[in-house]
């Protein structure tokens, strides 16, 4: 197998995101129709007249609008990811490092700067209910161990944090996702060690674990310039 490789979220994860966004949008539309629908305002001469008659409804109206806009934005991003090869979520592995993108930002991590790449399991006592449990992590400054947790949306520049559930298929059995995260972290760590030793051959790498979705092969934009041939060198020397 040849680098660079682009990994997309699992199709099941993309579908789940779209379904969750549609449910959120449905709640937003329902609340909006109860508290901020045009029919509610049509009975009053203006907003202030409505507000004087319904002062306690203002927080609910603002909340319904926020929920509607959030659901609409989430659904738009989820559908784009689903039908367009996930432009807002991907992982690229090449011979110089790892590029990780989520909705919030894209970060680049060089092999030479990363510390050991390892799986991280967060227990229910360490994280909030919304906290993803399984991660693939590494310190961007070369430290040996990653401490603490981060919000599920986090994409910090000083720490590589790849959510295992998004990119790996672990099945439904307890512990399978943890094993898949360990295999994926081991594969990335093997590439990191080869790169740090100057032995990473982009044209011949071990295949990624099967838990990943089938990767997309990308063109290597970092290829070294071609060495001039002997005839070209003679032409330059003779001024031709």
User: Is the model's pLDDT at 69 over the cut of 90?
Assistant: yes
Give the domain ranges of the chain.
11-83, 89-210
Question: What is the rounded average pLDDT for all residues in the chain?
Answer: 81
- Count CA within 13 A, CB hemisphere, residue 155: 16
User: Is the model's pLDDT at 73 over the cut of 80?
Assistant: yes
Q: For residues 136 and 160, give the distance between their C-alpha atoms in angstroms, rounded to a whole number.
A: 8
Q: For residues 189 and 200, give the distance between their C-alpha atoms in angstroms, rounded to a whole number.
A: 12
| pLDDT band at residue 5 using 50, 70 and 90 as cut-offs | very high
User: Is the model's pLDDT at 71 over the cut of 90?
Assistant: yes
User: Is the model's pLDDT at 183 over the cut of 70?
Assistant: yes
| pLDDT band at residue 16 using 50, 70 and 90 as cut-offs | very high
Instruction: Give pTM, 2 decimals.
Output: 0.77
β strands within the chain, DSSP E:
5-7, 90-94, 97-101, 106-110, 118-121, 134-139, 159-163, 216-217
Full strand arrangement of the beta sheet holding 97-101: 106-110, 97-101, 90-94, 5-7, 216-217
| pLDDT band at residue 170 using 50, 70 and 90 as cut-offs | low
Q: For residues 179 and 119, give the distance between their C-alpha atoms in angstroms, rounded to a whole number.
A: 9
For residues 198 and 192, the answer to whether their CB atoms sit within 8 Å is no
- Which of 39-43, 47-51, 116-120 shows the highest mean pLDDT? 116-120
Q: How many CB atoms lie within 10 A of CB 182?
A: 18
């Amino acid at each position: 197998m040849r680098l660079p490789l682009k990994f997309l979220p699992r199709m099941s994860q993309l579908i789940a995101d779209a379904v969750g966004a549609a449910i959120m949008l449905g709640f937003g539309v329902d609340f909006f129709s109860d508290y901020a629908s045009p029919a509610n305002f049509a009975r009053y001469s203006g907003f202030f007249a409505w507000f004087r008659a319904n002062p306690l409804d203002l927080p609910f109206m603002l909340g319904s609008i926020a929920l509607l806009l959030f659901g609409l934005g989430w659904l738009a991003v989820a559908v784009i990811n689903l039908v367009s090869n996930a432009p807002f979520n991907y992982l690229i592995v090449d011979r110089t490092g790892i590029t990780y993108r989520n909705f919030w930002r894209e970060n680049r991590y060089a092999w030479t700067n990363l510390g050991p790449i390892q799986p991280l399991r967060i227990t229910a006592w360490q994280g909030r209910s919304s906290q993803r449990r399984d991660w693939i992590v590494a310190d961007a400054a070369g430290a040996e161990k990653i401490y603490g947790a981060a919000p599920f949306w986090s994409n910090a520049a000083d720490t590589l944090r790849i959510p295992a559930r998004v990119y790996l298929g672990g099945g439904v059995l307890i512990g399978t996702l943890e094993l898949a995260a360990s295999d994926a972290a081991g594969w990335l760590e093997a590439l990191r060690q080869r790169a740090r030793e100057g032995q990473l051959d982009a044209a011949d790498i071990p295949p990624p674990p099967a838990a990943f979705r089938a990767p997309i092969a990308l063109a290597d934009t970092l290829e070294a310039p071609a060495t001039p041939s002997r005839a070209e060198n003679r032409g330059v020397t003779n001024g031709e």
